Amino acid sequence: MKIHSVEALAVEIPLKKNFGGSTYSVLKRCTVVTRVRGDEGLAGEVYNGDNRSHGREIVRLIHELLAPRVRGMDILEVERAWQAMFDLTHTSADRKILLEAIACVDCALWDLVGKSRGKSVAALLGGDRERLPIISIGGYYMAGKTLADIGREMEQYRTAGMAGCKFKVGGLAPEADAERVAAARKAAGPEFKLVVDANRGWNAQEAIRFARLVAPLDIGWFEEPCHWYDDIALMARVRQAIPIPVTAGQSEITSHGVRRLVDAGAVDYVNFDASEGGGVTDWRRAAEICRTAGVRMAHHEESQISQQLLAGVPHGTYVECFADPERDPVWQAMWANRPAIRNGYMEVSKAPGFGIELDWKMVERYRIA
């Protein structure tokens, strides 16, 4: 079967409040839906991305640059198709956005391959796990939010069936954020998985100070502790100085960036995002780099993609989501056949490809391009 056509559209859903971390704001839930059709009538279809205000540009890149590159290729030539698209990055003015567009096409192609073979993406990768632990991203900074509010938020996640929470830090002084994390731990209880994410909000000294304050609270990992400009070297310093594992990778856009993290001894976990970094094809390379180095794989958000990828490798860890209905209406409603969440675990779809079914009435309501 050969690739007949590639289509994409952008979706933007306004949110009722700002779900911001230490270094960013989120006012809209944005994603791109991509469909790759084979010449025998079968189609692969996925959605990628979370906070993509540049969805229109991604759609343009897919239609004008990427689709002509892969049209006519055999659907099994995923490496060849990926390379044909990646070659455009050598002259691109914005490689990050181009790689996000490549990710959309690559993931849809993997979905099509899975459907053509009657296998899930996890099975194509060689995995067979039936469920994965799931944690909610939370702990956002909001005006007037109290420690009691943080406690109620953790209770909300437990009620939603989450195994834990990835809690936002890095926006205040280390002592103030440590107090917030302590409130979360007290409310959640000792069995609840609690990890923290500074979104590159601190320098190395501040990150170390914070980590030593929260070390008694059984923190699973400390994500992106240090400022962007020298984060790999700074994270390596932090990792050597604290007892909490360090996680990074969501800000990398290639497996080469992941290799640099691993080579520097900067991480214990890598949460490379297939929707940011060129899709399944390059994520698989990053996972192999980590496996041989003894580094475990996580994944930044994107549970519709990550559940298959993490189930497909032996060193996969937690699926991430936004359990707050106001933060992610796509997860709550647009993903029409989202697998069940029970007792801290998400079932891994056994349907061919990614097994995603969309509510197309909702897609059309919020479509912008």
For the cut 80, the answer to whether the pLDDT of residue 51 exceeds it is: no
Q: Which long-range contacts (CB under 8 A, 24 or more apart) does 325-328 make?
A: 326/15, 326/16, 326/17, 326/19, 327/15, 327/19, 327/26, 327/29, 327/137, 328/29, 328/50
- Distance CA(364)–CA(369), nearest Å, equals 10
For the cut 80, the answer to whether the pLDDT of residue 52 exceeds it is: no
Residue type, 277: G
- Distance CA(129)–CA(217), nearest Å, equals 30
- For the whole model, what pTM was predicted? 0.96
φ, ψ for residue 96, nearest 5 deg: -60, -50
Q: How confident is the model at residue 299 (pLDDT cuts 50, 70, 90)?
A: very high
pLDDT at 23: 83
Helix, strand, or coil (residue 170): coil
Mean pLDDT of the chain: 96
How far is CA 16 from each of CA 19, 140, 212, 237, rounded to the nearest angstrom?
A: 9, 14, 36, 39
- Distance CA(269)–CA(168), nearest Å, equals 17
pLDDT at 190: 96
- Distance CA(32)–CA(34), nearest Å, equals 6
- What does 82-151 look like in DSSP terms, one character per residue? HHHHHGGGGG-S-HHHHHHHHHHHHHHHHHHHHHHHT-BHHHHTT---SEEEEEEEE--B-TT--HHHHH
- Distance CA(179)–CA(213), nearest Å, equals 9
Q: How many CB atoms lie within 10 A of CB 176?
A: 11
What the block records as the tokens of 283 is 């994520």
pLDDT at 21: 82
For the cut 90, the answer to whether the pLDDT of residue 1 exceeds it is: yes
**Of 75, 170, 156, whose CA–CA distance to 116 is shortest?**
75
- What does 259-319 look like in DSSP terms, one character per residue? HHHHHTT--SEE---TTTTT-HHHHHHHHHHHHHHTPEE---S-HHHHHHHHHTSTTB--E
- Distance CA(98)–CA(95), nearest Å, equals 5
Residue matched to tokens 């890598």: 270
In residues, how long is the chain?
A: 369
- Ordered by where they begin, the domains of the chain are 3-118+359-366 (3.30.390.10), 123-347 (3.20.20.120)
Q: How confident is the model at residue 311 (pLDDT cuts 50, 70, 90)?
A: very high
- What does 68-80 look like in DSSP terms, one character per residue? HHHTTSBTT-HHH
pLDDT at 56: 95
- Distance CA(67)–CA(85), nearest Å, equals 9
The pLDDT tens digits for 216-231 are 999 999 999 999 999 9
Query: Among positive and negative, which fits the CA dihedral 63, 68, 72, 73?
Result: negative
The pLDDT tens digits for 54-73 are 999 999 999 999 999 999 99
The pLDDT tens digits for 116-173 are 999 999 999 999 899 999 999 999 999 999 999 999 999 999 999 999 999 999 999 9
For the cut 80, the answer to whether the pLDDT of residue 11 exceeds it is: yes
Q: How confident is the model at residue 107 (pLDDT cuts 50, 70, 90)?
A: very high
Instruction: Please give the helix or strand (H or E) that residue 257 lies within, else none.
Output: helix 255-263
Is 143:132 a contact under the CB 8 Å cutoff?
Answer: no
pLDDT at 93: 87
